[in-house]
Amino acid sequence: MLVEGITTKMKGFSGYVVALFAILIFGDTAYIAYFNSFFGEGLMLIAMLYISASLLLIYQNRYNDYWMLALFFVSSLLLITTKQQNAPVAIVIGMLGLLLLFIKKNKAFRIWTASALGAIVLTGVLMYAFIPETFVTINQYQTMTRGVILNTEEPEKDLKDMGINEQFALLKGTTYFQKYKMVETDSPFMEENFYRHFGFVPVLEFYISHPNTLLQMLNLSAEHAFTIRPLEMGNYEKSAGKPFGAKTGFFTLYSTVKHNASPSSFGMIVLFALAVILGYSRGSIQKWRLGDFRGLVRLDLVLILVGTSFAVLLTTIVGDGEADLAKHEFLFNVCFDILILMILASLTEFTWEQIAKRRAKKHV
């Protein structure tokens, strides 16, 4: 459906070229491997692809808008409920999805759309509110030890600024699950003297008031943002006799090139996002003035993908530090790769049109 949404109005064999790109990207072993695990990333991939497909098909006016809205709604709920970390994505989808209210003047459609968007946002809020206490404790510990005080030269000062005993600076760089611990991480002592003194909002406020620390963490996050497969997940059964975590090189061209060639700084990611937004904003002002809101849906999808990407990067470091970044930033990869597919499709369409024009001139 994603390929159909992108290629509906493309001519000649250009659509088949885009289909090959889609297979190369999303058929990569790095993505497929998640379907052979108990991780929720496989569902996240499917959900994000359907969200993108539904919006593109609405943009193309290909199918009944009510069915596409239903697909968008169900896919969004699936994405948000698959993982508590995705709760902030509900805000991104809910806010940017408001454009859908205006693609039809039908009152019933607007009521259904508003209800769907409201339900999406509410689901995100509930997912955040009902995060199990165990996960909260794990995330809190690693947010502090593998995030806030990880790269600072004065961990005692940063802890003091947050109202936490400076002695906890000794935990800098440790993880919740490490074998030999300095302190029992789930003890009443830690709850009373450590965990109760901070949460998501205080940590976010700390990063905002310490921009250098925030930039360091964002750059660290960016370094791992384009790695689809976490290091600890292999591709072989034990009977294969391969070392633990061994990975196959079969059909991994895209993920390998992406890992080696992608930008490794947060600033480069920002520049890429701005370039994509500007590229797909062409003619948007005129469409807005003419009331062609359907023609703006593709740009809206781009904004959702970009917004989700940055939400993932920020939520990851604020909610769990740099622990297990590759896995936590999986959704960033999906959004980035959908944008790459859209860009490749646009370039393919442009190239095909130029070839067609040259052929037409030769026949004149």
Residue in this structure with the two tokens 């470091």, named with its chain if needed? 317
In whole angstroms, give the CA distance from residue 311 to residue 67: 28
pLDDT recorded at residue 230:
66
**What does each of the 364 residues of the chain score in pLDDT, given as a tens digit?**
898 888 888 887 888 999 999 999 999 888 888 887 778 888 999 999 999 999 999 999 889 999 999 999 999 999 999 988 898 999 999 999 999 999 998 899 999 999 999 999 999 999 888 776 666 788 888 888 888 888 888 889 888 888 888 999 988 888 888 878 888 888 888 888 888 888 878 888 888 888 888 888 888 888 888 888 766 666 777 777 777 767 777 788 888 888 888 877 899 999 999 999 999 998 888 989 888 899 999 999 999 999 999 999 888 888 777 766 777 888 999 999 999 999 999 999 888 888 877 877 776 5
**Identity (one letter) of the amino acid at 65?**
D
Please report the pLDDT score of residue 10 as a whole number: 82
With b for 16 or more beta-carbon neighbours within 10 A and e for fewer, the 102-129 pattern comes to ebbeeeebeebbeebbeebbebbeebbe
* pLDDT on residue 134: 62
Q: Of 3, 8, 10, which is closest to residue 27 (Cα–Cα)? A: 3
- DSSP for 149-214 reads TTS-S-HHHHHHHTT--GGGGGGTT--TT-SS-SS-TTSHHHHHHTGGG--HHHHHHHHHH-HHHH
Query: What does the pLDDT read at residue 341?
Result: 95
| pLDDT value for 8 | 86
Q: Which residue has the tokens 């909002």?
A: 201
**Is the separation of the CB atoms in 181 and 204 below 8 Å?**
no
Instruction: Please give the model's pTM, rounded to 2 decimal places.
Output: 0.89
In 3-state terms, what secondary structure has residue 246?
A: coil
